[in-house]
Amino acid sequence: MAIVVDASAPPEKGAEVVFSATWGGTRMNELGRSRPDEANPEAPMSLAMDPKGNMFVLDQVNGRVVRIGPDGKPEAVIPLKEQEAAQDMAVTDDGKVAVLDRYNSKSIVMYDDKGGALGEMPLEGEGLDELGFVTGVFVDGKDVYVEKEHGPLLRIGTTDGQPADRVEVPGRPTRDGLSYIKAGIIEPEVGRMYISSVDRATMQHRFTREYRQGSEIRGILLLDTDKTGTIYLATLLVQNGQETVILSCHEPLKGIPTGTAVLPVNTMPEETFRDMAVLDEGGVVYSVRTEQGVSYQKYDCQ
């Protein structure tokens, strides 16, 4: 099935700005950016939303997580514990934060809603031989998982910061509790990709649906769901030599597309891990970076 969208159309105008920050130090309205001479430039690596509408920004350059309230005002800072190379994070329903550091601490540290470290879960061990293959951290109920090469998830521990028996599941858990999903690229040059879903209760295959984007796919930027199970997919495409970000929404049980939007492209050189987060009630918060700073903007499918 083709996703019908005019990728040459300009990005959606009038997006709601949730929070903006300038580049700088450790003030609440500043976020860190690093451009070393002999390493990759970095900006805030990841963001996440909790059910109350709080946004969490992983400001690893300044060694912290910043929590922004639903009113767009910074509320609190969580100092990171020996996680200078932190790259991703996930947030629980009650405001705890799981922070992934693949290369320095080689662990996930769990922080409570006050910023205290609850415990540390080592990444190395059964089921995970190469830490460079870890492509994200996810929380499902009381379990903390890491994703392996954008495929299956491996349970590492629990949301109280304790290691647990390692169990693998076939994809990312949907927020309605019904499915595990994953996405992949089949032929990037011609825009072929897929979304696949497994029924959580029976572990039976629900659907695999192919999508044709109509132009070259450079990468998948987002795969997540809202509380109703609606699937959000964002891809970076190239059309007529120009990069475009396409957001598409899909109903949860068959994967049928229900809407799309064209988003602005991040052209800055800073390395990041996760630039988008889905709200429980629907819609996506997107980190848009400029030379002046970063703007967290809300978009949705039309």
Q: Tally Cβ neighbours within 10 Å of residue 189.
A: 10
Nearest of 191, 187, 100, 196 to residue 150 by alpha carbon: 196
Mean pLDDT (the chain, rounded): 94
Residue 1 is predicted with a pLDDT of 59
Q: Contact at 8 Å (CB) between 2 and 214?
A: yes
Q: Contact at 8 Å (CB) between 57 and 50?
A: no
What is the pTM for the complete model shown? 0.94
Domains and CATH numbers, the chain: 16-299 (2.130.10.10)
Task: Read off the pLDDT band of 12 (50, 70, 90).
Answer: low
Residue 68 is predicted with a pLDDT of 97
pLDDT digits (tens, 9 = 90+) for 192-225: 999 999 999 999 999 999 999 989 999 999 999 9
pLDDT for 175 beyond 60 = yes
Element (H, E) at 143: strand 143-148
Residue 195 is predicted with a pLDDT of 98
Task: Read off the pLDDT band of 36 (50, 70, 90).
Answer: confident
pLDDT digits (tens, 9 = 90+) for 217-234: 999 999 999 999 999 999
